[in-house]
Structures are given as C-alpha cells and as structure tokens.
Amino acid sequence: MARNSIDPIDLFGMALVAIFGPMAIGVVAFKITVFGGFSFTDILWSGSGVEITYATVLALIGVGWIVLANFIVGDWDIDELEWYHTAAIVVALGIVPVYAVVPAVQNVFSDYGAIALVVAIVQTGFGPLLSWEG
C-alpha cells in the first residue's frame, strides 16, 4: 500500500495485538461468563514451565498478520528494511514467546506491574508503527 499511512489490511492484526498482547503477558484479563465461562487466559498447553494460552496464540497471529501482510502486499522488501523495522519486528514477535517460555520474565512481570504495563503499551504500539512504516 503506502508508506506513512495505516493500511486497512493491517487493522485486523493491530486489533489482535492490542487486545490479546496485554492479556498474553498477564496485564489484562477478559472473561466471558456465559455458557460455563471462558477466559482467553485459559491454558491451552503447558509443560516444562511453558504456558500457552488463547491470548498468546491470538497475539502472535496478530503480529504475524501485520508482518506477512506487508511482505505479501509488497510494502516491505527484505533487502530494504531499515534497522528499526527489523528491531521492531523482532521485539514485537519476541515479547509474548519470551514471556511464555522464560519463568524469570514471568516473575518480573508479576512482581513489578509497572514494567508489565510499559511492555504491554510498547507491544500495543508496534502494530500501528509497523503499519505506518510499511
């Protein structure tokens, strides 16, 4: 599409990242109490200290949507990416898996809510940044 504008194709991914990213790192919780209750922070799979939730999967789908859409549409070319594009993509894709896999990060986020909130805000800002720069 165009640089210095938010592409409509990225809006779906931005919504997923903004809603489920903070849930995936334990900052926000959303529970539906109809039909026996459902929470996006329910664990899908766990083992060896790793816990994968619905929010984790949906947040990663959102970031993946933005990145793949910009590559497929032709907004980005791997050879023309600036260093800050690459850094933003790596951090946006890495926040949730690092939280899910590294128990020390989970402990820091649970002990220091301000750090988790700042990381959630930064993560939510990656969607519009990546779309704008695309």
Two tokens, residue 108: 């820091």
Q: Is residue 46 part of a domain?
A: yes
- pLDDT means per 10 residues, the chain with 134 residues, are 77 92 90 79 84 91 89 81 83 88 90 94 87 76
Number of structural domains (the chain) is 1
Q: Is residue 48 part of a domain?
A: yes
Quick one: pLDDT at residue 134?
A: 66
Q: Is residue 53 part of a domain?
A: yes
Quick one: pLDDT at residue 13?
A: 92
The type of residue at 27 is: V
Q: Is residue 90 part of a domain?
A: yes
Quick one: pLDDT at residue 2?
A: 60
Quick one: pLDDT at residue 56?
A: 92
Quick one: pLDDT at residue 33?
A: 75
CA neighbor of 97 nearest in space, from 128, 131, 53: 53
Q: Is residue 2 part of a domain?
A: no
Q: Is residue 47 part of a domain?
A: yes
Quick one: pLDDT at residue 17?
A: 92
Compute CA distances 104 → 22, 50, 95, whole Å.
18, 12, 13
Q: Is residue 21 part of a domain?
A: yes
Domain around 125: 8-133
- C-beta separation of 42 from 54 below 8 A: yes
Quick one: pLDDT at residue 85?
A: 80
Quick one: pLDDT at residue 40?
A: 86
